[in-house]
Structure 1
Amino acid sequence: MIESPVMDAAAIDAKISCVVLFDFDGVLIHGDAFGLFMRDRYKRSLMRKLLVLPTLPWLLFGLMVSWRWPVRTLVHISLLGISEQRYAAAAKSFAAQLVRRPRLFSRDGLLALRRHQAAGDRVIVVTGCEHTLVTGILEELGLTQLEVLASQLRPSWLGMRVKLHNVGKRKPQILASHGLQAWRRAYTDSSQDIPMLKPAAEAVLVNGTPKLCMKIEKALGRSVTRVEWF
Structure 2
Amino acid sequence: MTEPYPTPRDDAQLVVFDFDHTLYDGDSGSHLFAWLIKRNPLRLLAAILATPLLGPLVALLPTRRFGISGYVWIATFGLHQARDFNKVIDQYVLKHEPQIRQHLLPHALQVFAAHRRAGDRVIVATGAPPELARAILAFVAEQGVPVIGSEVGPRLGAMGATRHCHNEEKMRMLRERGYGDIAIAYSDSTADLPLLQAAKAPVVVNPKHSRVAYFGKVLPAGTPILNWGCPGRGGKPLPN
What TM-score do you get using the length of structure 2 for normalisation?
0.81
1:186 partnered with 2:185: yes
Alpha-carbon distance in 2 for matches of 1:17, 1:213: 31
Alpha-carbon distance in 2 for matches of 1:61, 1:129: 20
Classify 1:15/1:194 alpha carbon distance in 2 versus 1 (closer, same or farther; 3 Å). farther
Which structure has the greater CA radius of gyration?
1
Superimposed CA distance per residue, residues 174-219 of structure 1 (whole angstroms, 9 cap, x where no aligned partner): 1111223221110111111110011211111112366523312322
Aligned residues: 217
Amino acid of the structure 1 residue aligned with 2:144: Q
Alpha-carbon distance in 1 for matches of 2:208, 2:156: 44
Name the residue aligned to 2:228.
229
Aligned 8 A contact 1:188 1:205 in 2 = yes
Alpha-carbon distance in 2 for matches of 1:199, 1:15: 20
Amino acid of the structure 2 residue aligned with 1:70: G
Amino acid of the structure 1 residue aligned with 2:66: W
Q: Over the residues paired in the alignment, what is the CA RMSD in angstroms? A: 2.4
Amino acid of the structure 2 residue aligned with 1:74: Y
1:29 partnered with 2:24: yes
Name the residue aligned to 1:95.
93
Superimposed CA distance per residue, residues 10-65 of structure 1 (whole angstroms, 9 cap, x where no aligned partner): xxxx9675110100000111000010011111111101123346645643675697
Amino acid of the structure 2 residue aligned with 1:192: A
**Pairing 1:124-163 to 2, within 5 Å after superposition:** 124-156=123-155, 158-163=157-162
Task: List runs of 5+ in structure 2 lacking aligned partners.
Answer: 1-8, 230-240
Classify 1:103/1:178 alpha carbon distance in 2 versus 1 (closer, same or farther; 3 Å). same
Q: Report which stretch shifted further, 186-195 or 129-138.
A: 129-138
Name the residue aligned to 1:105.
104
**Pairing 1:19-98 to 2, within 5 Å after superposition:** 19-52=14-47, 55=50, 58-59=53-54, 62=57, 66-84=63-81, 85-98=83-96
When you count strand as a share of all residues, which structure comes out higher? 1
Amino acid of the structure 2 residue aligned with 1:44: R
Q: Report which stretch shifted further, 187-196 or 210-219.
A: 210-219
Q: Report which stretch shifted further, 129-138 or 27-36.
A: 129-138
Classify 1:111/1:156 alpha carbon distance in 2 versus 1 (closer, same or farther; 3 Å). same
Task: List runs of 5+ in structure 1 lacking aligned partners.
Answer: 1-13
Aligned 8 A contact 2:12 2:119 in 1 = no
- Secondary structure of the structure 2 residue equivalent to 1:183: coil
Q: Report which stretch shifted further, 17-26 or 81-90.
A: 81-90
